[in-house]
Amino acid sequence: MTAVWKKTTALTFETAPFAIRAERASDVAAREALLDASFGEGRHARTCQRLRDGRMPAEGLAFSAVHQGRVVGTVRLWHVSAGAIPALVLGPLAVEASCRSLGVGAALMNHALAAAKARGHGAVILRGDAGYYARFGFSAAKTGELALPGPFERERLLAVELRPGALDEAFGMIVATGDKLRRAAVRAGAKARKLLIQAA
């Protein structure tokens, strides 16, 4: 699924729009460099990383923003159990510094949320600034009784329901439930194994 986005106020993007498409194995090096530049080397110690360690992203829910053949944005979603309720955790979301404030982040978010809804997922949770994520419907309204496996600021644990009521009664620890990398690699066979491990 590929979507092409234009923002009328962005002159550079008028002539060269960006596309949001499914992440490819060939995006991995650029994605990792973008995440290093956006979050620094400490990014692997962040609490939400505990929900991604050794796991595959949810099927069909890893996206790249591409501008003139270059990866300039990334977002992925991951299976979790939110106090026994199946949900997705979104992150990391990052856009290359030179391409920010042009709508790339919003396009990635809207595309990812629409794709998650189309696949029947009920809710998306993330740790981030309400000042940015409220525009996509995220709030702390349904996360007050949830916890992450590590330190986090209560006001930054946000969620949006894709199915009304999906997070009613959500209570307890958010834990990873996605396919483990090794299991996915074995299923994929030798040829795809290297790509899967690179893509994690």
Ligand X SMILES: CC(C)(COP(=O)(O)OP(=O)(O)OC[C@H]1O[C@@H](n2cnc3c(N)ncnc32)[C@H](O)[C@@H]1OP(=O)(O)O)[C@@H](O)C(=O)NCCC(=O)NCCS
Residues of this chain that bind ligand X (CB under 6 A): 38, 93-95, 100-106, 128-129, 131-132
CB 147 → ligand X: shortest distance, Å?
18
Nearer to ligand X, 27 or 179 (CB): 27
Question: Minimal distance in Å, beta carbon 17 to ligand X?
Answer: 14
Q: 120 or 131: whose CB is closer to ligand X? A: 131
**Taking the complex as a whole, how short is the minimal distance between the CB of residue 169 and ligand X, in angstroms?**
26
Q: Cβ 31 to ligand X, closest distance in Å?
A: 12
With CA atoms as reference, report the closest residue to 102 among 197, 8, 198: 8
Residue closer to ligand X by CB (options 38, 81) is 38
Measured from the CB atom, the residue of 13 and 176 that comes closer to ligand X is 13
Other beta carbons within 10 Å of 103: 20
Report the residue closest to ligand X, judged by CB.
Answer: 105
Give me the least distance between CB of 122 and ligand X, in Å please.
22
Helix, strand, coil share (%) of the chain residues, nearest 5 = 40, 30, 35
Residue 61: alpha-carbon gap to chain centroid = 8
Q: Report yes or no: 65 and 107 within 8 Å, Cβ to Cβ.
A: yes
- b/e map of 50-66 (b: 16 or more CB within 10 Å)? ebbeebbbbeebbbbbb
- How far apart are the C-alpha atoms of 180 and 148, rounded to whole Å? 19
If the CB atoms of residues 107 and 116 are measured against ligand X, the closer one turns out to be 107
